Structure 1
Amino acid sequence: MKNKRWLLYLVVAIVLVVAFFLVRDRIHFDWHVFGEQLKLADWRRIGIGIALIWMAYGVRAVRWSVLLKPTKKVSPFKLVGSQVIGFTAVALFGRLADLVRPYLVAKRTKLPLSTQVGVYTVERMFDFGCLALIFSIVLLFSPDRANLPRPDLIHKAALGGLLATVALAVFAILARVSGKVVAGIVGKGLGVFSKSLGESASEKILGFRDGLNVIGSLGDFLAILTISVIHWLMIAYAYLEATKAFVAAPELANMTLARCMLLMAASMGSSMLQLPIIGWFTQIGLTSAAMTALFHVAPEPALGCGAVLLLVTFMSVIPLGLVWAQIEHVSLKQVSEESEHAGVESLTAPVQDAAE
């Protein structure tokens, strides 16, 4: 498995190097201008962006604590380290280290990993839902929405995102209240076309319902929703501060929240399949390309801003996480491998049990 993974990394690296040599003569890039853009940047704004991202890890710990309430009362302060170390592992080792956070929380709280994977799943559901909600509202009601690139398409996409968020919320409520009934209806409906597809869909809905059981009450749901919105607003303003720091580039210095939402979507989309080390450069490249394509930013400030955005939103946690890991005597490489192995066992255990 590891050999195949490193083969994938090697292939991606070769493709990137070849792509660079193919396009380098077509792009007029001035490294002196690039250096001046970084030199003139307002590093106070960049510092504010990093502070917002760091505080967001604390907010995540509060949300995880609320999600744990039906199972065990745990102080958010006990969970901050797991969040910081977990995101440090992702920054260094890619998305394969995503299970480090639930794995560390399970060890710290002495709760089964399967329950923490359920918490992680619900956390992600709130992340996607609240992010889509914020994107949609900002893009639909922003004062400068008419000046966005392709406003007609953006309006349709934002409206579709809002409707999809509402549909997800309705489905989640139905699954939480009557998951067995919903699973039966969907299973029978899809079973007309394929019995295995119907059974698989039914099992996934029941698993989704079990994950939602970590939400203890309506009050907890509203608390988690509020915390999630605050969390993503903090991240959005971290993006905005880091972008507006490039005062020598008018397109970036005058960035609005609506425009920043488009840039944030491009940046986060490029990070979905994050690979170790290589992913840093692909994310910078794709984010910079989005700035140039959407807002006509020159290549030099676009590349500088892309690198700073990666630093602020993704890599700034690394020094903090490395120190925290030393304090808690955690080996990042070891815990990444253990969490991946334990996560596979946790997910396959129910299947094995059912077979027996």
Structure 2
Amino acid sequence: MGIWIMLAATVAGCWFLVHRAADNGFDSKVFLATMARADWRWLVAGWLLAIASYYGRVLRWMVMLRPIAPLARSVDIFTATAIGFSAVVLLGRPGEFVRPYLIARAAQVSVPSQLAAWLLERIYDTLIVLAIFGYALAAVVQSGQKVGPKMQWVLQTGGWFTGITCTLCMAVLIGLQYYSDRLEDRLKSALSILKAHHQERILPVVSAAMDGLRSTRNAKSMALLYGYSALEWLIIYLCYHALFLAFPSTANLGVTSTLVYIGFVAFGGIVQIPGIGGGVQIVAVLVLTEFFHVGIEQATGIALVTWAITLIGIVPLGVILAFREGLSWRKLREVEREASI
């Protein structure tokens, strides 16, 4: 019931925003026509590629999981991944804990070890996103294209942000994976000031988390992690390219333009842009209108569709798998609360 209420509220909110915008010169007829004329075949292809990208995540996670759970099955991890990302959409950021919790339960390993794997996944994804954004930034600067003041701020700040964040991510990655033994000793030493019964509860958690980090220290595992990360983002690129082909306004955009869109949208999701915020849809509209000269109505429709398919597209599958696993809406909330403890 909660899912249907949320869906109804989302539809009603979108309808209200469209009519509100129409009062400010936004042509709702062009917006609705953009949505209606989209080629559903490319939309379905984009949705299938979006689902495939989650399996790319599973392959990468299996690299981190296999050393401590050799009998773990990728189909179980995919189920946990689909349910976990659906939980993020339905429950918000606290739902992030659902996925490592369900993976730990499916593979019969400790939750802290999978939280450590989740941290590594975030670092790898951040590095790939920043690489794509750096390429997009260079492509836009090289083109000499004039943009508005808000996007100009992105261009001026993006280079420094990319360099500093990449350096920090690499430092954290190296520290966690190559110096995890020393880090574990330091943490245990710092926790020695606690009373014995507190140490008995915390130290096993620290050891389990360090085991998760140590599972990928060899060169082969590192190569596989980078390789599967590249595969995942290649699928994501193909997904966005298919979605662009669904609309006449973006069907002629090539590889560079698609990467520019992905890079800036990912950057907008991480950084709060002055006067705009971090809304992915808003940044997507800005990129389409200022860089590719797409009309505001068409840009809004394309941004909403790409956002819905790439983010919400996993929810129907996730809900089906959750019901198959015996997880109702109430149980999913309980899992989220238990996992976040």
Write the letter of the residue equivalent to 1:86.
G
SS at match of 1:79: helix
Equivalent residue, structure 1, for 2:191: none
Equivalent residue, structure 2, for 1:197: none
Equivalent residue, structure 2, for 1:322: 319
SS at match of 1:302: helix
**330-339 or 52-61, which deviates more:** 330-339
* Deviation for aligned residue 1:105: 0.9
Equivalent residue, structure 1, for 2:223: 222
Deviation by residue 1:186-213 (Cα, 9 ceiling, x = unmatched)? xxxxxxxxxxxxxxxxxxxx99966532
Equivalent residue, structure 1, for 2:276: none
Equivalent residue, structure 1, for 2:25: 28
* Deviation for aligned residue 1:170: 4.6
Q: Distance in 1 between matches of 2:122 and 2:241?
A: 23
Write the letter of the residue equivalent to 1:218.
A
Task: Summarize the Cα distance change of 1:90–1:129 in structure 2 as closer, same or farther, 3 Å threshold.
Answer: same
SS at match of 1:99: helix
Equivalent residue, structure 2, for 1:123: 121
Q: Distance in 1 between matches of 2:88 and 2:260?
A: 24
Write the letter of the residue equivalent to 1:259.
S
* Deviation for aligned residue 1:217: 1.6
2:43 paired residue among 43, 46, 49: 46
1:176–1:213 contact (8 Å) kept in structure 2? yes
Q: Give structure 2 stretches of 5+ with no counterpart.
A: 1-9, 187-206, 272-278
* Deviation for aligned residue 1:78: 2.1
Q: Distance in 2 between matches of 1:158 and 1:125?
A: 19
Q: How does 1:73-112 map to 2 (within 5 A)?
A: 73=70, 74-112=72-110
* Deviation for aligned residue 1:308: 0.9
Task: Summarize the Cα distance change of 1:148–1:77 in structure 2 as closer, same or farther, 3 Å threshold.
Answer: farther
How many residue pairs get aligned? The number is: 299
2:58 paired residue among 53, 58, 61: 61
* Deviation for aligned residue 1:23: 7.4
Q: Give structure 1 stretches of 5+ with no counterpart.
A: 1-12, 186-205, 274-281, 345-356
* Deviation for aligned residue 1:50: 0.9
* Structure 2 residue 312 is matched with structure 1 residue 311: no
Equivalent residue, structure 2, for 1:257: 255
SS at match of 2:294: coil
TM-score of the aligned structures, taking structure 1 as reference length: 0.70
* Deviation for aligned residue 1:83: 0.8
* Deviation for aligned residue 1:121: 0.8
Write the letter of the residue equivalent to 2:80.
S
Q: Distance in 2 between matches of 1:227 and 1:260?
A: 21
Equivalent residue, structure 1, for 2:143: 146
Measured on the aligned residues, the alpha-carbon RMSD in Å equals 3.8
Q: Distance in 2 between matches of 1:109 and 1:57?
A: 18
* Deviation for aligned residue 1:61: 1.2
* Structure 2 residue 328 is matched with structure 1 residue 331: yes
2:135–2:260 contact (8 Å) kept in structure 1? no
* Deviation for aligned residue 1:223: 0.2
SS at match of 1:329: coil
Equivalent residue, structure 2, for 1:198: none
SS at match of 2:87: helix
Q: Distance in 2 between matches of 1:102 and 1:155?
A: 37
Deviation by residue 1:131-177 (Cα, 9 ceiling, x = unmatched)? 2223324544x599415556997498358625743553255224433
* Structure 2 residue 173 is matched with structure 1 residue 172: yes
Task: Summarize the Cα distance change of 1:267–1:135 in structure 2 as closer, same or farther, 3 Å threshold.
Answer: closer
2:120–2:173 contact (8 Å) kept in structure 1? no
Deviation by residue 1:96-127 (Cα, 9 ceiling, x = unmatched)? 21111111111112211111111111111111
Deviation by residue 1:7-40 (Cα, 9 ceiling, x = unmatched)? xxxxxx9xx99x9699747732222222322233
Q: Distance in 2 between matches of 1:109 and 1:98?
A: 18
* Deviation for aligned residue 1:63: 1.1
Q: Distance in 2 between matches of 1:84 and 1:171?
A: 28
2:115–2:209 contact (8 Å) kept in structure 1? no
Q: Distance in 2 between matches of 1:133 and 1:286?
A: 18
1:296 paired residue among 276, 284, 293: 293
Q: How does 1:187-198 map to 2 (within 5 A)?
A: none
2:26–2:297 contact (8 Å) kept in structure 1? yes
Write the letter of the residue equivalent to 1:112.
S
